[in-house]
Amino acid sequence: MTLKARLLSTLFISFGLMAILLTLISHWVILSDFDQLEVKTMRAHMERLDRAMDKSLQKIDQTAQAWSQWRAAANFVTDRNDKQVFASLLNKQTMQTLHLNLLMLRDASGDILFERYYDYTERKWIEPISGTRGHLFHLAREGSPEVKKGIYALPKGPLLVSARTISSAGEPVGTLVMGRIFSQQEAKSMASLTNLDIAAYDLKHPPLPRDVSSALYHLSLKSPRHIKATDNGQLHGYMLVKDLFDFPAILFKVSLERSIHAQGIRAVAMLMAFFVAVFALFAFANRFVFLRYLIRPFRLLRADLDKIEDLSDLSRRVSIPQEPEFQAASRAINRTLASLEANRKELTEAHERYSAVVNQSSEAIYMYDARTKKVLFGNPAMANLLGYRSEELLQCTVYDLVEASKTDIDATIQNILFGTPFVGERSYRTKSGHLVPMEITASLVHYQGRRVVSVVGRDISERKKSEERIRYLAYHDQLTGLPNRTLFLDRLEQSLKEARRNRDKLGLFFLDLNDFKHINDCHGHKVGDRLLLQVAERLQSSLREMDTVARLGGDEFVVIVKGGASRHNCRKVARKLIQSIDTPFLVEEIDQEVRIGLSIGISIFLDDAATLEELIQHADTAMYAAKRNPSSSWEFFAASSAPGTCQTSNAPVESGENQ
C-alpha cells in the first residue's frame, strides 16, 4: 500500500470511527429518551386501565349502596311477607339495565333470602353461578364490614362484586350483594372505553399464552406491573389485579405500537446521515492538503531511497525538500546513510576476517538451528572430516551427524538453551557411516535472528587409539599379549566371587618352563622372546574360552580353570598343557628345533584354599615341588600335618609325569 493510500485510509478510518462513535452515543442518548417516553406513555395507559377497572367496581358499588338504603330492602329482610313487593322490581329489565349477573339478599346470619342470576348478554335468567353461595357467605356474616367490594375468583370466571349492609332502625339486618362476571365482553367494553388494545386473562383458568406466562415471573402483588418490548415492533404492559383475598385474579395485557421508538430511530438515522455528510465534506477538503504538503515530499523521498536501494549504494544521499518540516527528517536520513555506510564497511571487513579464520581453521566448526536442528553452516574442516561437500552438509540435521539418541541430543540442546554450554566428547557419523570421536564445545549464539547452537570440535581419533593402547598395555603382557599380573589378579578375584556364589570349584595352575634359561643364555633374548610367543599361543589353544592364561614375567605363566575344577578335570588340563609344550618348537632365527619342559603346580579352591592369597601361595608351593622332577610333570598341593600352615616342605599327595 502506498503512503498516499495509507494516509488517506488513516484519515477515512479515523473520521469514520469518530462518526460511528458519535452516532452510537447519539443512538444511546436519543433512543434512551424516546424509550423512556414510550415507557411513560405505557404507564399512563395502564393507569387509565386501572381507573377503568375501579370505575366498573365503583358503579356496581354505587348501585348496591342505593338499593341497600331503600326501605323496601329492609322490609324484605325483616318482614318476609313483603317479599313480593321487593321481588317484583327485580325483573329482567332491571338486571339488564344494571348489567348484573347476580343479585342476592342475605339475613344477618348469612342465610340466603333472595337471589337472582341473569345473563345480560343473552337476556335470560340462568341457573345459580357455581361457587357463589359458598364464596359469598362471609360477606353477609355477622361482623363483616358494611361495605366490601372487589373481585372473587369463581369457576366461571372473575366476579366483580359489591356487598352493602342493610340496616333497620340503625341495626344491621341483612346484606345486599351485587355482582357481574368479568367476561371477554367486559374486557372489550373496557377497551372501547379507554381506547386501548386490551386483553384480559383469568389466572385461575390456564393455559395462558407464552408471553403472559413469561410476564408472570416478573409480576407480584408488591410489583404488579411489567413492561416489555418485543421484536415485532410492539410494547406490552402487563398489570396484575388481586381479588378480595389478596390473591392474583386477573392479568391485563395492554399492547402499544412502538411509534415513538420508530421516531427515535428515524431521528438517529437522520443524525447519522448528517455526520456522514459532514465527514465526507471534511475529508474531501483535506485530501488536497494531504496531497500537497504530505504526499509530494514523501514521494520525492521515496524516489531517492528506491534509487539507493536499486544501486545498493550507501554513498548516495537523499535530496533536501523545500518544506521545513521534512528538511530535518531528510538530514537525519542522510546521517543514518553515512553511519550505515561506515558500519557496512566495518562489517564487511569483520566478515572477511571471520571467514578467513573459520575456513582456514583446522578445528571443525558448524552451527545448527536450535529449533529445527538443521545445519546452517559448516567450515571446510568439518565437511572434510565427515566426508561431505559443503552444500551436502547444509542438508543434514544434527540428528544425522551425532551418534546419540534423539532424546539425549534434545536434552543437551535444552541445557544449552538454558545457558549451560556442553563440553565433552561425541561420536560423529561420516557420510560413509564410520564414527569419528570428537571433543567438542557447544554453546548458544544468536545468528540471523535465530537461536543457534555453535559447535567447535577436533578429531581425537589418534588420542583415543593411544589411550586404548595405554589401557591395553596396562593390563596385558607387552611381548605375548596375554593378561599380565594386574589383569590376572582381577580375573582371579572375580572368578573366586563367582565360585563362592555358585559353591563351585576353581583350579589355579602355576607354570614354569624347564631349560628356558639355558636356551635364552645360549641363543640370545630374541630367540627367547620368539619361544615365549609360541609357548603363549600353544597354552591359549589348549584351554577353553572361559579359562584364563596369563604371564607373570620371565618364563612363569598361570592358568585359571573355571567351572567344575575337580582333580580329575585338572589332571586332564595338566596333561593337555604338557603335551602342547613337549612338542618341539621350530625357531626360525636359529633354524632348528628346540625342546623345553613344563612344571605345573595346582591348587583347587574349596579343597586346598579358601582365599585368594592361599590359593596363589599353594599353587606356587606345588609348582616348586613339580620342579624337582627334571622332566615335564604336575603336582597338586598337599596340606601339612599342622592345620592352617602351607610351606614349601609340604609333600604333594599326588604327582604325575608326562609319559
Report if residue 237 sits inside a domain.
no
Let me know if residue 441 belongs to a domain: yes
**56 in a structural domain:** no
pLDDT at site 270: 79
Domain range enclosing 19: 3-39+271-295
**434, 464, 494 — which closes off a domain?**
464
Same domain, 589 and 443: no
Residue 203: the pLDDT is 82
For 134, other C-beta atoms within 10 Å of its C-beta total: 8
Q: Where does a domain end: 181, 216, 247? A: 181
Query: Does residue 604 share a domain with residue 495?
Result: yes
3-state secondary structure of 255: strand
Give the chain's end-to-end CA distance (angstroms, integer): 110
28 and 115: one domain?
no
Residues 432 and 487 in one domain: no
Q: Which residues of the chain have pLDDT under 50?
A: 640-655, 658-659
Q: Are residues 371 and 490 in the same domain?
A: no
How many angstroms separate the CA atoms of 496 and 465, rounded?
A: 33
Do 94 and 156 lie in one domain? The reply is: yes
Beta sheet of 633-636, edge-to-edge order: 548-553, 556-561, 506-514, 597-605, 633-636, 655-657
CB atoms within 10 A of CB 244: 19
β-sheet bridge partners, residue 635: 601, 655
Tens-digit pLDDT profile for residues 331-378: 888 888 888 878 878 877 777 777 777 778 888 899 999 999 999 989
pLDDT score recorded for residue 641: 28
Q: What share of the chain is helix, strand, coil (3-state, %, to 5)?
A: 50, 25, 25
My answer on whether 495 and 635 are in the same domain is: yes
Per-residue pLDDT at 288? 62
Helical H segments across 361-379, by residue range: none
Q: Which of 657, 527, 513 is nearest to 599 (CA)?
A: 513
Question: Has residue 136 been placed in a domain?
Answer: yes
The cell for 620 is 606356587
Question: Is 485 in the same domain as 545?
Answer: yes
pLDDT on residue 2: 58
How far is 653 from 607, CA to CA, in rounded Å? 13
* Per-residue model confidence (pLDDT) at position 648: 33
User: Total domain count for the chain?
Assistant: 5
- Residue 366 within a domain: yes
Say what the pLDDT of residue 139 is: 65
CATH no. for residue 536? 3.30.70.270
Neighbour-count burial of 309, counting CB atoms closer than 10 A to its CB (0-12 exposed, 13-18 middle, 19+ buried)? exposed
Q: From CA 139, how far away is CA 128, in angstroms rounded?
A: 17
Q: Please indicate, yes or no, whether residues 327 and 444 belong to a single structural domain of this protein.
A: no
Predicted local confidence at residue 400, as pLDDT: 92
517: enclosing H helix or E strand: helix 516-523
Q: Are residues 596 and 454 in the same domain?
A: no
Based on the fold, state whether residues 606 and 644 are members of the same structural domain: yes
Dihedral over Cα of 271, 274, 280, 286: its sign: negative
407: domain CATH number is 3.30.450.20
Same domain, 496 and 629: yes
The predicted structure's pLDDT at residue 266: 79
DSSP state letters, 41-102 = HHHHHHHHHHHHHHHHHHHHHHHHHHHHTSHHHHHHHH-GGGHHHHHTTSSHHHHHHHT-SE
